[in-house]
Amino acid sequence: MAPVTFEVPAETREAIVSAHPRPDFRRRILHAFHTDPTHRPQATFGNTKADAPDRCEDHYARPNFVRIIEDSPWPE
């Protein structure tokens, strides 16, 4: 299945950014994604927020779904 893409026409994008400026957006959104889950990094499992601590934190170990299943303490 091909990924879903959504194209916003340039004039629409310009109107939105004009009405809602995004100063320093890239740095600020990545900072928010990085700092938001610092007190609960397990909440990033299975979503895009895991990318920020994975990139920014030397000690962060991204949870691995397969490893979680394989290491489950639940009996078969």
d(CA 44, CA 52): 9
pLDDT of residue 3: 67
Q: Would the CA dihedral through 31, 32, 38, 39 be positive or negative?
A: positive
Question: What is the pLDDT averaged over residues 43-66?
Answer: 76
Residue 4 to residues 1, 32, 43: CA-CA distances in angstroms? 9, 25, 25
**For all residues of the chain together, what is the average pLDDT?**
78
Sequence-distant (≥ 6) Cβ neighbours of residue 62 within 8 angstroms: 50, 53, 54
Q: Which pTM does this prediction carry?
A: 0.47
Q: Would the CA dihedral through 71, 72, 75, 76 be positive or negative?
A: negative
